[in-house]
Structure 1
Amino acid sequence: MTISGDAIRDELGHYLSRLWRYALVLSHRRDVADDLVQATCLRALERAAQFTPGSHLDRWLFSILHSIWLNEVRAQHLRQGQGCMAAEELGDADNGEQPVWLHEVMRRVSRLPTAQRNALFLVYVEGLSYREAAKVLAVPIGTVMSRLAAARLALADDRPLANDGPHRKERHPAPLPPARR
């Protein structure tokens, strides 16, 4: 049994903000995120017959978006860091009303290697299981686990958040909520 493009179209609106957030995590640019989401929606509608009814539409859409991003990166031969947005710019939509610590967290996460940042976003922000994140990223589950562990260590080893006291030299993973496997 297949699903129609109309059925996909009816559901797309529910996922646009989540897709856009992931596109922003990947691209660091709002205009590119807009384009990625638009291309994702178009591809999802064109390939609606490939969606397996009963599976998670959001995971399928994330996979499409990630694939489009990788294709764009390969096609344009982007240099590492090209087009990155400063962490301070990410909060512009809130007119600076976000707490200082939030900007610091965003700055720290933005400094993570792309692979770690993407795994962190999918598991801890979007709530995907390790297995689901591995499928979206097209890597083995162990790779996702390794990237998350490295990201936690890097975040824990960074300078303390504002007014948190002196920098600890101990290496403890940053406290993140447990993820589903």
Structure 2
Amino acid sequence: MSEDISEQLVSLLPRLRRFATGLTGNLSEADDLVQLSCEKALRKQHQWQAGTRLDSWMYRIIQTTWIDLKRRQRSDTVSLEAEAVPEAPDRRSEHAAENHNMLDRVSQVLDLLPEDQRVVMLMIAVEGRSYQEVSDMLEVPKGTVMSRLYRARSRIQAELGSSDGIEQDGEKTQ
């Protein structure tokens, strides 16, 4: 692997770990998933085309590796543990307990989403990707991404019992 690609891969590790944590719901499993995916990328580096986005290629490897692992384990559910979500300093300490409670509730609802909707939600809401970027990464039409995101947001709103807590038109345009 060339030095440039190695450096890029190392710089992507925090983002890859965050994405893997969203998929697995567990920091330990996320670390294992990132490690497996990086090993796979190193073995198949000849398939990566210079000039294309390494992050998109790695997200795809992580997603397919996760699907392969799930198939092997025949596990139907994934639990997003509260400890899996990194604690951020709360600038509004008077609302810290409410914010933590809401984070726990949203994490539980994310666990209920189908895999395809959870992946899109994580890539757009957590990673800050545009619809087109997610479409390219997942190799599905942009309309499919929009539909999955709409269904995920609707499900989250319904489960939380609130229609004003989730932004419906938050697409980033690029």
Q: How does 1:23-172 map to 2 (within 5 A)?
A: 23-81=20-78, 84-86=79-81, 88-91=82-85, 94=87, 98=90, 99=96, 100-112=98-110, 113=113, 114-159=115-160
Amino acid at match of 1:174: I
RMSD: 2.6
CA distance in 1, matches of 2:45, 2:26: 28
Q: Which amino acid aligns with 1:12?
A: L
SS for the counterpart of 1:37 is helix
State the secondary structure of the residue aligned to 1:52. coil
Q: TM-score, normalised by structure 2?
A: 0.78
Q: What do the CA deviations read for 1:120-175 (whole angstroms, capped 9, x no partner)?
A: 1112221323233234334333221111111222233344xxxxxxx66xx56821
> Once structures 1 and 2 are overlaid, which stretch shifts more, 56-65 or 41-50?
41-50
SS at match of 2:60: helix
Take 1:137 and 1:107, find their aligned partners in 2: how far apart are those partners?
27
What's the counterpart of residue 166 of structure 2? 174
Unpaired segments of 5 or more residues in structure 1?
Answer: 160-166
Residue identity (%): 30
Cα contact 2:116–2:148 (8 A) shared by 1: yes
Distance 1:130 1:110, change over 3 A: farther
CA distance in 2, matches of 1:154, 1:11: 36
Structure 1 stretch displaced more, 98-107 or 63-72 = 98-107
Cα deviation, residue 109, structure 1 = 4.3
Q: Give the deviation of 1:26 after TM superposition.
A: 0.7
The alpha carbon displacement at 1:50 in A equals: 1.2
* Greater gyration radius: 1
The Cα offsets for residues 73-97 of structure 1, whole Å up to 9 and x where unpaired, read as: 111111224xx143x3335x64x96
Corresponding residue pairs, total: 164
